[in-house]
Structure 1
């Protein structure tokens, strides 16, 4: 699965507004934001980068005034991390990823919750996308600010073969949401599962995760993968049918 996840990472970055191929790396940039979570690179599976390859990659980031940063599955390219560390890259994080397949997907049943399951919707209007962006900003406690650029990225996801799903708050707006990239090389990445603090504990995260996963399988994906932020969220995903399959490494070159 590591090779599938890494091949997907390459294909997904090539979809970015600005995609740069340098040596054995692919970097994806979005001129609308300086966020390192949007602007980063990844290696091709099985590659063995030279010091010159790494230097060229760093130069591509510096030319765009972005911090050199990579996300990848280390077991799919074992020679990459040592080459990057020689150039001064340090570990930002190491995350386990979980995978769901059609055989493991478990859709929530109404009897799972006496008060009923949250109603999962597809956003259509500008107001829907803006409400989702605002809700995710609050859910992730300021990791990113709600913005027109964030709204535009969500809309592009929905319009370019991916999917965004949300649960509407009782008084309007968005209680929680998530998005999933368009499938590539047989798999898709589900990201940004977030619920506003006031609406947690009502099954929203599990419902949007299951709905998005089901949509991707209907579109031909053989698997969907995601990363989790804590044991609580891991349990939510495992109930839907996600299982641990590998790790992803984040490396950054600080100034």
Structure 2
């Protein structure tokens, strides 16, 4: 599974609007945002990597903080090379996977409904809730809307929740699927609507749509114990380790 996940991550970054290949790495650059969580690199699984490759990678970031995310088992010698180049670990996360057989449907709480944002206003409204939930309040701009449309047009899924009187309550989405695998991310619920089961309903709704489209494996990472419990209820199970590492 590690190899399939890393291949999918590499392929996904290649779909970024301004992706750059640097030796055994791909940088998933997007000039529409400075977010390091969008602009990062990953190695080709199993590639031979040298200190010179790492130096070239730093240069390829062209002034942006160099940052990588990858499945550790797919590049076992890379971490030391990055340490030697002045990188520091941000996090070591365990990723979880779900299949059609393990998915557990979750009820949508009373007073809410799930929907697929389609208009610019709907997309912007849901992204605004996500931004606030993740501690970065702010309206979605044209680049944010274009980024979401780019993913949706290539098979990605975007699902949101709103109250029955039309207030946006939460949402989440995926990257562009690759080789039967797709990452789910950005699961967020507004503060006023937490504790009612919305996160689980949104996650299950996204995974269900992926599986209906023929995706074999959905995967994600939990941001803490609470989200871990939510994802386990939906049917996600621990499967491997990923490293987040950067040089600021």
Is the TM value for this pair above 0.5?
A: yes
Distance in 1 (CA, whole Å) between partners of 2:216 and 2:32 is 32
Of 89, 92, 95, the match for 2:93:
95
Shift of residue 19 of structure 1?
A: 1.1
Shift of residue 109 of structure 1?
A: 4.6
Match of 2:52 in 1: 52
Gapped regions of structure 2 (runs ≥ 5): none
Distance in 2 (CA, whole Å) between partners of 1:104 and 1:239 is 10
Of 98, 103, 106, the match for 2:104:
106
CA contact (8 A) 1:131 1:173 kept: no
Tell me, yes or no, if structure 1 residue 201 matches structure 2 residue 199: no
Shift of residue 152 of structure 1?
A: 2.3
Distance in 2 (CA, whole Å) between partners of 1:109 and 1:194 is 17
Match of 2:83 in 1: 85
Match of 2:238 in 1: 244
Of 60, 72, 75, the match for 2:73:
75
Gapped regions of structure 1 (runs ≥ 5): none
Shift of residue 156 of structure 1?
A: 2.2
Distance in 1 (CA, whole Å) between partners of 2:91 and 2:138 is 22
Distance in 2 (CA, whole Å) between partners of 1:109 and 1:178 is 16
Could you give the per-residue CA deviations for residues 10-35 of structure 1, whole angstroms, max 9, x where no partner exists? 00000000111111111111111111
Could you give the per-residue CA deviations for residues 191-234 of structure 1, whole angstroms, max 9, x where no partner exists? 00000000011211111111110111122211000011111111
Tell me, yes or no, if structure 1 residue 10 matches structure 2 residue 10: yes
Could you give the per-residue CA deviations for residues 137-162 of structure 1, whole angstroms, max 9, x where no partner exists? 111111x6433122222222222210
TM-score, normalised relative to structure 2: 0.95
Could you give the per-residue CA deviations for residues 51-93 of structure 1, whole angstroms, max 9, x where no partner exists? 11111100000x2x31100000101211111111111111011
Distance in 2 (CA, whole Å) between partners of 1:197 and 1:39 is 28
Give the 3-state SS of the residue equivalent to 2:186 in structure 1.
strand
Shift of residue 171 of structure 1?
A: 4.1
Distance in 2 (CA, whole Å) between partners of 1:228 and 1:77 is 22
TM-score, normalised relative to structure 1: 0.92
Shift of residue 37 of structure 1?
A: 0.6
Could you give the per-residue CA deviations for residues 166-211 of structure 1, whole angstroms, max 9, x where no partner exists? 0113442310100012320221000000000000112111111111
Give the 3-state SS of the residue equivalent to 1:106 in structure 2.
coil
Match of 1:177 in 2: 171
Shift of residue 48 of structure 1?
A: 2.7
Tell me, yes or no, if structure 1 residue 192 matches structure 2 residue 197: no
CA contact (8 A) 2:5 2:181 kept: yes
Of 128, 138, 142, the match for 2:132:
138
Distance in 2 (CA, whole Å) between partners of 1:182 and 1:70 is 19
Structure 1 residues 151 and 231: CA distance shift in structure 2, 3 A: same
Equivalenced residues, count: 247
CA contact (8 A) 2:113 2:164 kept: no
Instruction: Compute the RMSD of aligned alpha carbons.
Output: 1.5
Of 138, 159, 162, the match for 2:156:
162
Match of 2:37 in 1: 37
Distance in 2 (CA, whole Å) between partners of 1:13 and 1:109 is 33
